Amino acid sequence: DSGVTQTPKHLITATGQRVTLRCSPRSGDLSVYWYQQSLDQGLQFLIQYYNGEERAKGNILERFSAQQFPDLHSELNLSSLELGDSALYFCASSATGTSGEQFFGPGTRLTVL
Amino acid sequence: AQSVSQHNHHVILSEAASLELGCNYSYGGTVNLFWYVQYPGQHLQLLLKYFSGDPLVKGIKGFEAEFIKSKFSFNLRKPSVQWSDTAEYFCAVMARGSTLGRLYFGRGTQLTVWP
């Protein structure tokens, strides 16, 4: 157990819908990262937050957005879902948000039908 | 931009065989290097990491990796694999000293160990 929690574990929805994935970082970690794992693209970095502020963006679609709340949990919002958005979404946290080790959550498996 | 290449997509071994998984990266600056493992249905777990110092690093479960700067490589090794090592292995790179902490991952190598 890494100490990073993610809910829900599984999510099945239809095209065009909107979903919210939730992540709670390890106690004391200020930085949260979101990654997408798909068969096509492998593990891709989406976005990073540090202490409530967006720090970096990767290959994140405009239909996707995220935020980090004052209690440091983070939510990833995916809207206008397409079949190709089906993937495993991982959240990771680290203490500093720079070059340290990242701890990964169990992931949310999203299936878009 | 940084990129990571893992040479083997799928490796199949018998128990007690030796393992070496290749990883090469491209980046002009100094990096931190990681190997993560993903057991079936589970999350990514850190096997080992290299930040600085001795280029031969030892991780959990008998794994080790060697950083060869001149070859931009960070290959993962284990002298004798077990059935329980069946998993997917990911090499990852991070720019050291960056204000950003993003990891760049390779595509992964699926290791299957037959008992």
Predicted local confidence at residue B28, as pLDDT: 78
Cβ atoms of residues B90 and B36 within 8 Å: yes
The answer to whether B9 faces chain A, any CB pair under 8 Å, is no
- In the Cβ-directed half-sphere of A62, how many Cα atoms lie within 13 Å? 0
Predicted local confidence at residue A5, as pLDDT: 97
Distance CA A43, CA B9 (A): 14
Interstrand relation of B109-114 and B10-14 (parallel, antiparallel or unpaired): parallel
Tens of pLDDT, residue by residue over B28-68, are 788 899 999 999 888 899 999 998 899 999 999 999 999 99
Give the confidence band of A9 by pLDDT, cuts at 50, 70, 90: very high
Of B46, B90, B96, the CB nearest to A43: B90
Tens of pLDDT, residue by residue over A36-69, are 999 888 899 999 999 999 988 888 999 999 999 9
- How far from B33 is each of A67, A109, B23, B46, CA to CA, in Å? 28, 27, 10, 11
Predicted local confidence at residue A97, as pLDDT: 56
Least confident of A55-59, A94-98, A99-103: A94-98
Interstrand relation of B31-38 and B87-95 (parallel, antiparallel or unpaired): antiparallel
Residue of A nearest to B34 (CA): A101
CB contact under 8 A, B101 and A48: yes
Closest CA relative to residue A50, chosen from B34, B100, B44, B104: B100
B84: three-class secondary structure by DSSP? helix
Please, which residues have CB within 8 angstroms of residue A27's CB and are 6 or more apart in sequence?
A3
Predicted local confidence at residue A51, as pLDDT: 92
Interstrand relation of A42-50 and A31-38 (parallel, antiparallel or unpaired): antiparallel
Predicted local confidence at residue B4, as pLDDT: 94
Which of A102, A103, A108, A109 is the best residue to mutate to test the B interface, defined by the most B CB atoms within 10 Å of its own CB?
A102
Tens of pLDDT, residue by residue over A22-41, are 999 999 899 999 999 998 88
Q: What percent of chain A has pLDDT over 70?
A: 97
| Spacing of C-alpha B46 from chain mean position | 9
Give the confidence band of B100 by pLDDT, cuts at 50, 70, 90: low
Residue B35 in tokens: 């190997």
Give the confidence band of A99 by pLDDT, cuts at 50, 70, 90: low
Surface of B (60-99) touching A: CB under 8 A: 90, 94-99
Q: Average pLDDT over chain A, rounded to whole?
A: 93
Tens of pLDDT, residue by residue over B78-92, are 999 999 999 999 999
Tens of pLDDT, residue by residue over B2-16, are 789 998 999 999 999
Please work out, in degrees rounded to the nearest 5, the angle formed at the alpha carbon of residue A95 by the alpha carbons of B90 and B102: 40
Q: Is the pLDDT of residue A84 over 90?
A: yes
